[in-house]
Amino acid sequence: MRPSLLDPLFTPITSLAGVGPKVGALMERILPLDRGAHGARTADLLFLLPSSVIDRRSRPGIANAAPGEIVTLDLIIDHHQPPPRGNRSVPYRILAHDDTDEITLTFFHAHASYLEKQLPEGAQVIVSGKMEWFNGCPSMVHPDHIALAQDAASLPLVEPVYPLTAGLSGKVLRRAITQALARVPKMPEWQDTPFLRRQSFPSFDAALARIHNPETPIDAAPDNVAWRRLAYDEFLAGQVSLALVRARVRRLSGQPLTGDGQLVDALRASLPYALTGAQDRALAEIHADLARPERMLRLLQGDVGSGKTVVALLAMARAVEAGGQAALMAPTEILARQHFSTIAPLAERAGLKIAVLTGREKGRERKQVLEGLDDGSIHIVIGTHALFQESVVFHRLVLAVVDEQHRFGVHQRLAMTAKGDAPDMLVMTATPIPRTLVLTAFGDMDVSRLTEKPAGRQPIRTVTLPLERLSELVGRIRDAVAQGQKIYWICPLVEESEEVKLMAAEDRFASLQPVFGDQIGLVHGRMKGSEKDEAMRAFKEGKTRVLIATTVIEVGVDVPDATIIVIEHAERFGLAQLHQLRGRVGRGSKPSSCVLLYKEPLGETAKRRLAVMRETEDGFVIAEEDLKLRGEGELLGTRQSGTPGFQIARIDTHADLLETARDDARLILATDPDLQTPRGKALRLLLYLFGKDDAVRLLRAG
Ligand code: ADP
Ligand code: MG
């Protein structure tokens, strides 16, 4: 149970004054971590740190204030000049002065009663805002802050600026954060005191207070001690929780999996191609891991189309040779079924019994799969989240393969760990994750890389085209269809809702159907599973030649003879996503192309992104550019720039702390494995604060 000390920080943000469901939803959009169905908690607001500050400390006096400068002025109010009655287009003007000059404060659509109260004639006041000069006359339009001189302390001279989203005002956000700060309880220190002293780190609550109420811009800078302290807290929470998971994993130590090679050899012989050198090497590394008594925790990294699936299949075959079962988890149902349909024929020819399990299998069908897994007659199962369910019991699960890892969280990995007989884990991802990020996101995993593509692949020609030339493009697509080519047509990414997404796809379908007749198909997220299958199959078999799709096909879909992909409103997609999508073509031996349709005018970043796509097909180069353009956060699909899975820490600024945190975590667990000492107990608070409840639960589970 979470210590009740922390309760005030674990209330939903809507428990704060001024935060209703609507404002709460807006706030969730800017919070760096997605809490999913649980919604954001008060603590999440504490960790929403300012993206910059406005420095209002300059107090030069009216006469010396430069145009455009943010200044704070000490004024005496002389005279109110309301607009003539009934003429709202004339602003409300207030004349004031200081020792140096006179100034006009200008308000459009003002409420006279409000201004009379805030800035009464004769009063000494303090205002802050941007200085402007109109025809040589000093003025300030809508000062950001106004206060009577006696309340001057309420005016922030260094004002933190938070990321905002449309409809959410900075004032509302600040007010909520101030309340959250007031709820921080007095807590014991969880960091090593000599370490804190060496680093000149303030205490946790002092660090938060300093960043949210800075006295100088430096107070709120990421490389300053206050922010670094919190980054270290976050790293340590992450490293301690990973270390706890690892300790647990080690306690359930693995089993050596070896085999006579019969299955693996038979499968390899039945492949219509030879493995690439990189696939061979990765497979050798995996088989060696499997043969060791320790559990395998390996990441298989390979760009889209590099052929990860077959490596997974051969790894699973070894697990079966060793007398166990294997499971392959995919993030979407389409992908699970696709894996099943490519793997099943190969596997069955080699004498393997293989099944699929997603949310769709119901009744008898589901019961049969569950029984087969339980009695061991099914060797390999391919599925979605459905595999995590409690009703799924394995006879002897020894290998779990997770495809496109970043869609699954640590939580789900733990759930899978609990399923089997301490199964070995193979995690596959197309995202080229830099080494440091592997450490933060996965802990110490071994990595195999597929650095080459299968032979015979041709480069994908990528072109960009303004939306105005749509009809020209449709003409060319028609020619391509006449030549028997297959085309994906990806509909724009829309944030709003599933409904709008659907509309975009259905509109495009409706507008193109007259051209392509029954050769055009549609697949989107709202379709029933069986309808999706049907649409994918029709496209795969060539009954349809143009497939209109929402981004449901983004990850992993394999139709090797599709040769053209059109991406509508490409400017709305991130680089990683564009790269993933483009990877749907260029999978066979025929030349392919990718058409990025964009709407003008293009912003600078969008322009750069499209240029990168034209220039390179190399996933690593693209990931690097992505990092430059958007920060690491987007790489693994988290929302804010920052480091994946982190609210505060940034790899670029705080990398030096990460290694220290890892060593610190190891040392802590070596001496206090159950977090029972006073520091250990304080560390439990830290784990909760950073949402590592799973890890704390492991402590008790033992
Ligand atoms: P990804 O790494 O993106 O998951 P897939 O496993 O889907 O890639 O493989 C992409 C395509 O390449 C598939 O059609 C697969 O059959 C094919 N393929 C895999 N390995 C090879 C190889 N060594 N030679 C030729 N084609 C291959
Ligand atoms: Mg794949």
pLDDT in tens, 173-206: 999 999 999 999 999 999 999 999 999 999 999 9
Ligand 1 proximity of 302 Cβ (cutoff 6 Å): yes
DSSP secondary structure, 285-300, as one string: HHHHHHHSSSPPEEEE
Ligand 1 proximity of 308 Cβ (cutoff 6 Å): yes
Cis amide bond preceding 143, omega within 30: no
Nearest CA, atom 4, ligand 1: 308
Nearest CA, atom 20, ligand 1: 307
Instruction: Give a yes or no: residue 638 inside a domain.
Output: no
Nearest CA, atom 26, ligand 1: 454
Instruction: Give a yes or no: residue 474 inside a domain.
Output: yes
Ligand 1 proximity of 556 Cβ (cutoff 6 Å): yes
Residue 625: pLDDT band with limits 50, 70, 90:
confident
Q: Do 63 and 19 share a structural domain? A: no
Question: 485 CA distance to ligand 1 centroid (A)?
Answer: 20
When mean pLDDT is compared over 177-186, 580-589, 610-619, the highest value belongs to 177-186
Amino acid at 269: A
Cis amide bond preceding 601, omega within 30: yes
Q: Looking at 76-142, list the stretches that DSSP marks H as alpha helix, in order from N- to C-terminal side.
A: 112-118
DSSP summary character for residue 426: E
Nearest CA, atom 23, ligand 1: 275
Q: What is the pLDDT of residue 465?
A: 96
Give dist(CA 574, CA 571) in Å, integer: 8
Q: Do 339 and 263 share a structural domain? A: yes
Evaluate if residue 529 carries a pLDDT over 90: no
Instruction: Give a yes or no: residue 632 inside a domain.
Output: no
Nearest CA, atom 14, ligand 1: 560
Test site for ligand 1: of 275, 301, 306, most ligand atoms within 8 A of the Cβ:
306
Q: Do 595 and 543 share a structural domain? A: yes
Evaluate if residue 433 carries a pLDDT over 60: yes
Q: What is the pLDDT of residue 495?
A: 54
Amino acid at 58: S
DSSP summary character for residue 677: S
Test site for ligand 1: of 300, 309, 559, 580, most ligand atoms within 8 A of the Cβ:
309
Q: What is the pLDDT of residues 486-502, one digit of tens each?
A: 999 998 765 555 556 56
For 147-156, the CB contacts below 8 A with 24+ separation are 148/123, 148/124, 149/74, 149/123, 149/124, 149/125, 152/126, 155/56, 155/72, 155/126, 155/128, 156/56, 156/213
Ligand 1 proximity of 279 Cβ (cutoff 6 Å): yes
Q: Looking at 252-379, list the stretches that DSSP marks H as alpha helix, in order from N- to C-terminal side.
A: 262-270, 277-291, 308-321, 333-349, 363-375
Q: What is the pLDDT of residues 533-559, one digit of tens each?
A: 889 889 999 999 999 998 666 555 778
Question: 429 CA distance to ligand 2 centroid (A)?
Answer: 8
Q: Do 519 and 492 share a structural domain? A: yes
Instruction: Give a yes or no: residue 589 inside a domain.
Output: yes
Q: What is the pLDDT of residue 256?
A: 87
Evaluate if residue 439 carries a pLDDT over 80: no
Ligand 1 proximity of 307 Cβ (cutoff 6 Å): yes
Other beta carbons within 10 Å of 52? 13
Q: What is the pLDDT of residue 451?
A: 84
Question: 240 CA distance to ligand 2 centroid (A)?
Answer: 32
Q: What is the pLDDT of residues 466-483, one digit of tens each?
A: 999 999 999 999 999 999
Ligand nearest to the CA of 583: 1
Evaluate if residue 631 carries a pLDDT over 50: no
Question: 303 CA distance to ligand 2 centroid (A)?
Answer: 9
DSSP summary character for residue 569: T
Ligand 1 proximity of 254 Cβ (cutoff 6 Å): no
Q: What is the pLDDT of residue 526?
A: 78
Ligand nearest to the CA of 303: 1
Burial of 430 (0-12, 13-18, 19+ CB in 10 A): buried
The CA-atom distances, in angstroms, between 299 and each of 81, 318, 367, 432, 451 are 70, 17, 32, 11, 14
Q: What is the pLDDT of residue 659?
A: 81
Which atom of ligand 1 is least distant from the CA of 306?
Answer: 2
Q: Do 122 and 75 share a structural domain? A: yes
Question: 307 CA distance to ligand 1 centroid (A)?
Answer: 3
Q: How many residues does the chain have?
A: 702
Ligand 1 proximity of 560 Cβ (cutoff 6 Å): yes
Which CATH number covers residue 537? 3.40.50.300
Evaluate if residue 440 carries a pLDDT over 90: no
Residues 302 and 377: beta-carbon distance below 8 Å: no
Instruction: Give a yes or no: residue 563 inside a domain.
Output: yes
Test site for ligand 1: of 308, 316, 343, 558, most ligand atoms within 8 A of the Cβ:
558
**Residues within 5 A (CB) of ion ligand 2:** 556
User: Three-state secondary structure along 142-194?
Assistant: CCCEEEEHHHHHHCCCEEEECCCCCCCCHHHHHHHHHHHHHCCCCCCCCCCHH
Q: Do 466 and 453 share a structural domain? A: no
Q: Do 256 and 113 share a structural domain? A: no
Which CATH number covers residue 85? 2.40.50.140
- 385-414: average pLDDT: 75
Give Cα 483 distance to the centre of its chain.
Answer: 40
Instruction: Give a yes or no: residue 515 inside a domain.
Output: yes
Give dist(CA 453, CA 459) in Å, integer: 11
Q: What is the pLDDT of residue 634?
A: 39
Measured CA angle at 417 (ends 414, 421), to 5 deg: 165
Burial of 194 (0-12, 13-18, 19+ CB in 10 A): exposed
Give dist(CA 454, CA 457) in Å, integer: 7
**pTM of model > 0.85:** no
61: closest CA among 31, 97, 30?
A: 97
Ligand 1 proximity of 586 Cβ (cutoff 6 Å): no
- 112-119: average pLDDT: 92
453: closest CA among 579, 618, 565?
A: 618
Q: What is the pLDDT of residue 87?
A: 81
DSSP secondary structure, 380-401, as one string: EEEESGGGGSTT---S-EEEEE
Q: Please list, in sequence order, all residues whose beta carbon lies within 8 angstroms of the beta carbon of residue 183, skipping any fewer than 6 positions away.
A: 8, 9, 42
Give dist(CA 79, CA 94) in Å, integer: 6
Listed in order, strand segments (DSSP E) in 460-517 are 460-466, 486-490
Question: 445 CA distance to ligand 1 centroid (A)?
Answer: 24
Question: 83 CA distance to ligand 2 centroid (A)?
Answer: 67
Residues 565 and 488: beta-carbon distance below 8 Å: yes
Test site for ligand 1: of 267, 273, 280, most ligand atoms within 8 A of the Cβ:
273
Q: Do 46 and 117 share a structural domain? A: no
Dihedral over Cα of 72, 77, 82, 83: its sign: negative
Q: What is the pLDDT of residue 635?
A: 38
Q: What is the pLDDT of residue 587?
A: 84
Ligand nearest to the CA of 330: 2
Test site for ligand 1: of 283, 299, 304, 310, most ligand atoms within 8 A of the Cβ:
310
Ligand 1 proximity of 619 Cβ (cutoff 6 Å): no
Other beta carbons within 10 Å of 494? 18
Containing 55, the helix (H) or strand (E) segment is strand 52-55
Is 155 or 228 the better-scoring residue by pLDDT? 228
- 151-158: average pLDDT: 88
Can you read off the two tokens belonging to residue 19?
Answer: 């935060």
DSSP summary character for residue 41: B
Question: 631 CA distance to ligand 1 centroid (A)?
Answer: 30
Instruction: Give a yes or no: residue 324 inside a domain.
Output: yes
The CA-atom distances, in angstroms, between 391 and each of 325, 357, 366, 394, 521 are 17, 12, 11, 10, 36
Nearest CA, atom 24, ligand 1: 454
Ligand 1 proximity of 304 Cβ (cutoff 6 Å): yes
Evaluate if residue 411 carries a pLDDT over 70: no
Q: Which residues pair with 161 in a beta bridge?
A: 52
Q: Do 76 and 42 share a structural domain? A: no
Q: Please list, in sequence order, all residues whose beta carbon lies within 8 angstroms of the beta carbon of residue 134, skipping any fewer than 6 positions away.
A: none
Q: Do 404 and 512 share a structural domain? A: no
- 520-523 and 592-598 as β-strands: parallel, antiparallel, unpaired? unpaired
Q: What is the pLDDT of residue 701?
A: 47
Residue 169: pLDDT band with limits 50, 70, 90:
confident
Instruction: Give a yes or no: residue 631 inside a domain.
Output: no
Ligand nearest to the CA of 313: 1
Amino acid at 111: H
Q: Do 353 and 341 share a structural domain? A: yes
Residue 477, CA atoms < 13 Å, CB-side half-sphere: 26
Q: What is the pLDDT of residue 416?
A: 59
Which atom of ligand 1 is least distant from the CA of 560?
Answer: 14
Q: What is the pLDDT of residue 5?
A: 94
- 152-158: average pLDDT: 88
- 562-570: average pLDDT: 94
Rounded to the nearest 10 degrees, what angle do helices 619-630 and 575-582 cross at?
160
Which atom of ligand 1 is least distant from the CA of 302?
Answer: 2
Residue 493, CA atoms < 13 Å, CB-side half-sphere: 16
Q: What is the pLDDT of residue 636?
A: 39
Evaluate if residue 250 carries a pLDDT over 90: no
690: closest CA among 648, 631, 634, 662?
A: 648
Q: What is the pLDDT of residue 364?
A: 93
Ligand nearest to the CA of 302: 1
597: closest CA among 565, 620, 628?
A: 565
Of 565, 592, 616, which residue is a domain's last?
616
Residue 42, CA atoms < 13 Å, CB-side half-sphere: 21
Q: What share of the chain is helix, strand, coil (3-state, %, to 5)?
A: 45, 20, 35
Residue 638: pLDDT band with limits 50, 70, 90:
very low
Ligand nearest to the CA of 402: 2
Domain range for 350 = 222-457+654-702
Can you read off the two tokens belonging to residue 385?
Answer: 């989240």
Measured CA angle at 428 (ends 424, 434), to 5 deg: 110
Residue 640: pLDDT band with limits 50, 70, 90:
very low
386: left (phi over 0), alpha (psi -120 to 50) or beta: alpha
Residues 259 and 321: beta-carbon distance below 8 Å: yes
Question: 21 CA distance to ligand 1 centroid (A)?
Answer: 47
Ligand 1 proximity of 383 Cβ (cutoff 6 Å): no
Q: What is the pLDDT of residues 310-362, one digit of tens each?
A: 999 999 999 999 999 999 998 888 889 889 988 999 999 899 999 999 988 88
Q: Do 77 and 147 share a structural domain? A: yes
Ligand 1 proximity of 338 Cβ (cutoff 6 Å): no
Ligand nearest to the CA of 586: 1
Question: 700 CA distance to ligand 2 centroid (A)?
Answer: 37
Residue 632: pLDDT band with limits 50, 70, 90:
very low
pLDDT, the chain, mean:
86
Ligand nearest to the CA of 450: 1
Test site for ligand 1: of 452, 587, 589, most ligand atoms within 8 A of the Cβ:
587
Q: How many domains does the chain have?
A: 4
Amino acid at 113: S
